[in-house]
Structure 1
Amino acid sequence: MTSRGSTLLGAAFAVGAVVLLSGCGPSTGGDAKPATPTSTRPSLAEGVPRSYNPCNDIPQSVLDSEKLGMKIVANNDGDGGVEWRGCGWVRPNGYAVSIRTTNLTVDLIRSRNFAEATEFTIAGRRAISTLQFDGPHIKEACTVNVEMKGGSLEFSLINPPSNRDTGSTDSCVLARALAEKVVPSLPATA
């Protein structure tokens, strides 16, 4: 793997971890305050959905159509019980993406009030795209979460403008288009 490919893939995995660092309101005297009252705040699902394994269940034809290669296992356990299970891929001269199941629900992602949150449906499932980074490069990374029983399927995509093949395309457009190809492979019971 090239150094650039490793860097892009590592950055894509970091997108999912950003969710862990967001969602709490301001701190007062060292005591973190929830962004919303706990009685109305969506909760984290018990565990990662196990009915779909992105590393094995994404059709090869989808990966080939997106020119995705260099698969790397991208399992993470975060603070507060957040879990991700799946893999990451890199498109040469293009974007890097991690596709993982997580116990973060669409409702919980919506409650975090990330920038440019857009709700839509894919194959009859609720979905949301968000920009989860702050700063000058916020639009280079987009996260799409698609509803599953017990969490969501998360697409964390990073697409710097310097990428020859995809750099001129909005990262959320790419993430949503990829999700629309992958989600039909989810079992109906997932």
Structure 2
Amino acid sequence: MIAGKRRLLIAVVSGAVLALTACESSTTEGEAVESTASMAPDAPTSYDPCTNVPQSVLDSEGLRMKKDDDFSAGEVKWEGCMWGQPDGYAASIQTTNLTLQMVRDKGYPGTVEFTIDGRKAIASQQQETDTDASCNVNVEMDGGSLEFGLTNPPYVEKTGHLDTCTLARTLAEKVVPTIPAGA
């Protein structure tokens, strides 16, 4: 019983850290986002991560305890949900009006560009501290991107020893094929 409560606490704390990570990931307070003239006014609505990510994908990653995770920071908007993996990483999957170019322009450490299911993607470590414990993958969408934000503290038993960006990319590779063409 205590182990179960400990797992739940870790997942909730990881989720809270993830929410804070996502808030700080793309902009910091008072920081302007470049190219706001070309920024869409809202996050893309052609894909809803809260309902469109297949349960089979969530099950394959052991993700549960879904929570809404919508917020904004100035002109930047995020809409989606967050899940936790008992004794493992926490993940936020959100649409955002941040484009890949905006993420690229930030020059975050560990930035790698690649393609998933024919869509351009970029992975980056956007935190100033504990960069190995978090990673964001943004996948190109019309009007912004689909952002996968993972928090994977080294103390979590199941995944803490694994590379966070590899985990984020693996999750993205499972979800991106479910995005409708043209979205």
The TM-score normalised by the length of structure 1 is 0.87
Instruction: Tell me what 2:65 maps to.
Output: 70
Structure 1 distance, partners of 2:91, 2:44, is 19
- Please, which runs of 5 or more residues in structure 2 have no aligned partner? none
Which has more strand, going by share of residues? 1
Which of the residues 13, 18, 28 maps onto 1:12?
A: 18
Partner amino acid for 1:144?
V
Q: How many residues align?
A: 176
User: In the alignment, which residue of structure 2 is the partner of 1:21?
Assistant: 28
For residue 182 of structure 1, the aligned residue among 157, 160, 175 is 175
- Higher CA-based Rg: 1
Deviations 1:97-137, CA, capped at 9 Å, x for gaps: 100000001111000111111100100101000111112x1
Give the AA of the match of 2:106.
Answer: R
- Judged with a 3 Å threshold, the aligned counterparts in structure 2 of structure 1 residues 23 and 182 are, in CA distance, closer, same or farther, namely farther
Contact 1:15 1:143 in 2 (8 A): no
Q: Which residue of 2 aligns with 1:28?
A: none
Question: Are 2:144 and 1:151 equivalent residues in the alignment?
Answer: yes
Q: Mind listing any 5+ residue stretches in structure 1 that lack a counterpart?
A: 25-33
| TM-aligned CA distance change 1:94 to 1:44, over 3 Å | same
Question: What's the % identity of the aligned pairs?
Answer: 44
Q: Which amino acid aligns with 2:14?
A: L
Partner of 2:157: 164
1:30 corresponds to: none
Contact 2:88 2:156 in 1 (8 A): yes
In the superposition, relative to structure 1, how do residues 178 and 42 fare at CA in structure 2: closer, same or farther (>3 Å)? farther
Q: How far 1:3 sits from its partner (Å)?
A: 2.5
Aligned to 1:98: 92
Separation (CA, whole Å) in 2 of partners of 1:62 and 1:102:
21
User: Which residue identity is paired with 1:52?
Assistant: Y
CA 1:22–1:120: 2 relative to 1, 3 Å? farther
TM-score, normalised via structure 2 length: 0.90
Q: Structure 1 segments of 4 or more deviating over 6 A?
A: none
Q: Closer, same or farther in 2 for the Cα pair 1:35/1:62, shift >3 Å?
A: closer
Q: Whose helix fraction is larger, Structure 1's or Structure 2's?
A: 2
Does the Cα contact within 8 Å between 2:10 and 2:87 map onto a contact in 1?
A: no
Task: Work out whether residues 23 and 35 of structure 1, in 8 Å CA contact, stay in contact via their aligned partners in 2.
Answer: no
**1:22: Cα distance to partner?**
7.7
Q: Which one is further off, 10-19 or 165-174?
A: 10-19
Q: What is the deviation of 1:4?
A: 2.0
Is contact 1:121-1:127 (8 Å) kept?
Answer: yes
Aligned to 1:10, the other structure's residue is in SS state: helix
- How far apart are 1:46 and its partner, in Å? 2.5
